[in-house]
């Protein structure tokens, strides 16, 4: 009987541990920053009004309208929050 109880506890422990580890691993693949934070970082880089925030696997693309009327695209890395590219386009 003690052997069955030990095995049951062991299986329960392994199941719970793998669930926690799996959750932690899944979170490591997720973005460290969200769309709002990406928009804030883009506004720190380029003054203006955020028009749109798109996302891909690794980055956010934030479109910012400047007072001059120019639209600026700012790419923000999802994991680090670092602005990795800034480009202007005329609209």
27-42: per-residue pLDDT in tens? 444 569 999 999 999 9
Q: Looking at the structure, do residues 11 and 43 belong to the same domain, yes or no?
A: no
pLDDT lower than 70: segments of the chain: 1-31, 85-91
Q: Looking at the structure, do residues 60 and 76 belong to the same domain, yes or no?
A: yes
Q: What token pair was written down for 35?
A: 């769309």
Q: What residue numbers bound the domain in which 82 lies?
A: 35-89
Q: What is the pLDDT of residue 34?
A: 96
Q: Looking at the structure, do residues 75 and 54 belong to the same domain, yes or no?
A: yes
- Report the Cα–Cα distance between both ends of the chain, in Å, rounded: 76
Q: What is the pLDDT of residue 21?
A: 46
pTM: 0.62
Structural domains of the chain, count: 2
Q: Looking at the structure, do residues 9 and 48 belong to the same domain, yes or no?
A: no
Q: Looking at the structure, do residues 54 and 25 belong to the same domain, yes or no?
A: no
Q: Please give the sequence-ordered ranges of beta strands (E in DSSP) within 1-82, or none if there are none.
A: 49-55, 59-65, 71-77
Q: Looking at the structure, do residues 41 and 73 belong to the same domain, yes or no?
A: yes
DSSP for residue 46: S
Q: What is the pLDDT of residue 84?
A: 77
Cα(58)–Cα(67) distance, rounded to whole angstroms? 29
In CATH, what number is assigned to the domain containing residue 55?
Answer: 3.10.450.40
């Amino acid at each position: 009987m003690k052997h069955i109880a030990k095995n049951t506890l062991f299986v329960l422990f392994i199941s719970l541990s793998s669930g926690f580890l799996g959750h932690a691993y899944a979170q490591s693949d997720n973005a460290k920053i969200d769309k709002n934070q990406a928009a804030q970082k883009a506004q720190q880089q380029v003054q203006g009004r955020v028009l749109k925030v798109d996302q891909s696997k690794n980055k956010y693309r934030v479109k910012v309208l400047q007072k001059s009327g120019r639209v600026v695209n700012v790419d923000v890395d999802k994991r680090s929050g670092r602005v990795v590219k800034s480009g202007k386009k005329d609209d």
